[in-house]
Amino acid sequence: MSESKCPFHGSTTTPNLGTQNKDWWPNHLNLDILRQHDSKSDPLSEINYRENVKSLDLESVKNDLKNLMKDSKDWWPADYGHYGPFFIRMTWHAAGTYRIGDGRGGAATGAQRFAPLNSWPDNGNLDKARRLLWPVKEKYGNQLSWADLLVLAGNVAIEDMGGPNHGTALGRNDIWHPEKDIYWGSEDEWLGDNRYGETRQDLENPLAAVQMGLIYVNPQGPNANPNPTLSAQDVRETFKRMAMNDVETVALTAGGHTFGKAHGADSEDFKGPNPEAAEIHEQGFGWSSTHGSGKGKDTITSGIEGPWTTNPIKWDMDYLKLLFKYDWECKKSPAGAWQWHPINCIEDDMVPQVDGSDEKVLPMMTTADMSMKVDPEYNKICKSFLDNPEIFEETFAKAWFKLLHRDMGPKTNYIAGDYKNIDYLWQDPVTPSPVMSAEKETLVRAALKTSGLKQVELIETAWASASTFRKSDNRGGANGARIRLEPQINWSVNKPDQLKKVISIIEKIANDCGVSVADTIVIGGAVAIELASDSRVEVTTGRGDATQENTDIESFNLLKPKACGFRNYSEKEFSVSPEEIMLDKAQLLGLNPVELTVLVGGLRSMGVSFTGEGLWSDGKLDTSWFKMLLSMDVKWEKTGYNNYEALDRKTNKLVRTGSRTDLVFGSNSELRAIVEVYAVEQNKDKLINDFIAVWNKIMNADRFDLN
């Protein structure tokens, strides 16, 4: 062997060295999203953060933050002597990645610490904001997660600069590596935008930003076209996709841009690589600039240059006042970015330089800001806020609180904090019911057994109720029994005619027994599984029943499954395979590969399949389905987009049918290995126990009060 050969091939640490499985088989179903964030990655796996944060001295933290914000550091000076606007931007950009399409993104995990977010163009220089916060994080250690701190810092900044605030709820757990489940777009370059159909409203789902690496919109206008009318289209669509209406959008824009300035002192050619691409000696610092001092008034971040208001570290009405006081002209910033300046600006409306010198500069607006004035609806809202500052303040405070907390789910996840005790529709409120006594639960179980409802009807109803849950933003689930309300009662995947019959019987049982419908639905599923397995299925009660009034139909329609592999349902043929859609849903449910396999095999065994395909057993929860899947007595042939037939190898007669979400458990080598375990008769009891465990995991997924 040549001595010049490197003794280390690097294939385990450098993914682009050596041919990988994904290179040979690019269409192979990748199960990695079901394995992320396990205890092996978590240095604090033994710590219960939700308990730790309860003992946090929040006032002490807030005081420390307020002191830190006015302690300007030479290595990254505070604009106008106050880091508050900088922290507000950090907080906004941590929370603003949330999108309603799949509930992913947002501030609830502290993901801004990792790629790609830590190196997004729109997050330029926020690495410095997090470094400034390190002394506070270090001081409070395990009592304060990064996820909570990234949100808290922006709120405290608003408070310290006199702005309206509804406080902060705490209880966000940190993650410890980049998320693998979030689709940020298919573009292979920063600020690419291959994500539109024929119109600006036809943005690829579930994305909520117009270009790769942006939070919402390009501030210069669509593809740097400084057209405020077109920009308004982008603003409206992107804010809608993160759960904001027009009023909330205007309030957030006007309120957020009351503070701080944008930085574009010179060409972006002076900027160095982002944090993930920076040299090792930079220690995670990115965007190092060689323009002047590289900081302070010489900072280059977005390319836009200048403040929005006359006093950028004070809450006031100046953003709206200046926007409507002047006519504005479009000019290039020193960095070459399109922005807008007031025509004939008077001296009193000029802004001091960030370094505290006597120099004064013009305020500016971005094209996105100008859309607030040009768009008729936004214009109307802006003028209403101008006439009613108190309404503007309250609307901003509510919208800002929603922005920061939308992905936390119900208020039961608010473990600590100084938030106001207000109930919002977007929190999906449910009033809990008392935990059932053993005697009452026995009565409910007996009534369900004699109700005339079929085993599969009870299982399908319980599954339909609970499986709306998505771990990404803690929405959906069995609590509230919204399965009986619009829109879920009429979703085609839920078999509306059957569902309405089942619900009417369950509601009568619940009423007769004096218990919640939500608990009765879950108990119904447990009773059916007991009949199929001859094993006890314990149920944790205490769920409440939501009302139609506290159920946002439009918002809940976003949870509607267009395809559900667990039930062999697909409303049409999609560009991605049914098994990929099933995998995505499994991740949202918090399943690992073993749980996914057990759950699908168990459901099929007990007769759950919208199409009737994949039903190869007699309704018993046993090893039959797994054995049938592995059988070599048949050969499978494709008969449609998602339809397959198994023919007897000797007679060529039709034996059974299946779908891709059935057959993938035999074709995928990793899933097949798991199936082989549960096909062994020796493991029948293990199958039953494992199925009941994962079933209860789904039934209790939204019972945050139990965790």
Task: List pLDDT tens digits, range 240-280.
Answer: 999 999 999 999 999 999 999 999 999 999 999 999 999 99
- Residue 324: count other Cβ atoms within 10 Å of its Cβ: 13
CA distance 496 to 477: 18
The single-letter DSSP state of residue 276 is T
Smallest Cα–Cα separation from 479: which of 265, 294, 700?
Answer: 700
Per-residue model confidence as pLDDT tens digits over 521-580: 999 999 999 999 999 999 999 999 999 999 999 999 999 999 999 999 999 999 899 999
For 484, the 3-state DSSP assignment is helix
Query: If you write DSSP's letter for every residue of 646-703 in order, what string do you get?
Result: EEETTT--EEEEE-HHHHHHHHSHHHHHHHHHHHSGGGHHHHHHHHHHHHHHHHTTT-
Q: Give the residues across from 563 on adjacent strands.
A: 570
d(Cα 452, Cα 461) in Å, to the nearest integer? 15
> How far apart, in whole angstroms, are the C-alpha atoms of residue 149 and residue 130?
9
Q: How far is Cα of residue 217 from the mean position of the Cα atoms in its chain?
A: 19
pLDDT of 16 above 70 = no
The answer to whether 263 is a known catalytic residue is no
Q: What is the pLDDT of residue 17?
A: 62
- By the 8 A CB rule, do 261 and 354 touch? yes
Main-chain phi, psi angles of 664, to 5 degrees: -60, -25
Residue 375 confidence class, pLDDT cut points 50, 70, 90: very high
Name the band, by pLDDT with cuts 50, 70 and 90, for residue 15.
low
**Tens of pLDDT, residues 578-594:** 999 999 999 999 999 99
Q: How many residues does the chain have?
A: 707
In the predicted model, what is the mean pLDDT of residues 373-387?
Answer: 98
Report percent pLDDT > 70 for the chain: 98
Is residue 13 very low, low, confident or very high in pLDDT (cuts 50, 70, 90)? low
Number of H helices, E strands in the chain: 23, 13
Residue 376 CA: distances (Å) to CA of 222, 232, 246: 19, 10, 11
Mean predicted lDDT score pLDDT of the chain: 95
**What is the amino acid identity at position 408?**
M
Pairing of strands 634-640, 569-570: unpaired
Residues 93 and 310: their CA atoms lie apart, in Å, by 24
596-609 as b/e: b if 16+ CB within 10 A: bbbbbbbbbbbbbb
CB atoms within 10 A of CB 512: 11
pTM of the predicted protein model: 0.95
* Bridge partners, 351 (sequence order): 361
Q: Rounded to an integer, what distance in angstroms lies between the CA atom of residue 333 and that of residue 331? A: 7
One-letter-per-residue 3-state SS of 536-565: CCCCCCCCCECCCCCCCHHHHHCCCCCEEH
3-state secondary structure 283-319: CCCCCCECCCCCCHHHCECCCCCEECCCCCCCCCCHH
Nearest to 287 by CA among 370, 219, 387, 213: 213
Q: Phi/psi of residue 525, each to 5°?
A: -60, -40
For position 18, what pLDDT does the model report?
A: 80
Task: Give the mean model confidence (pLDDT) for residues 602-620.
Answer: 97
Q: How confident is the model at residue 11 (pLDDT cuts 50, 70, 90)?
A: very low
Give me the phi and psi of 486, to 5 degrees please.
-70, 140
C-alpha–C-alpha distance, residues 162 and 419, integer Å: 17
Q: Which residues of 410-442 are buried (b: 16+ CB within 10 A; e: fewer)?
A: bbbbbbbbbbeeeeeeebbbbebbeebeeebbe
What average pLDDT does this structure show over 380-394?
A: 98
Tokens read off for 376: 């008729």
The packing angle between helices 389-405 and 146-160, to 10°, is 170
Given the residues 28, 82, 93, 341, select the one marked as catalytic.
93
**What integer is the mean pLDDT of 621-640?**
97
Tell me the β-bridge partners of 564. 569
Instruction: Say what the pLDDT of residue 23 is.
Output: 85
pLDDT band at 199 (very low <50, low <70, confident <90, very high): confident
Average pLDDT over residues 214-222: 96
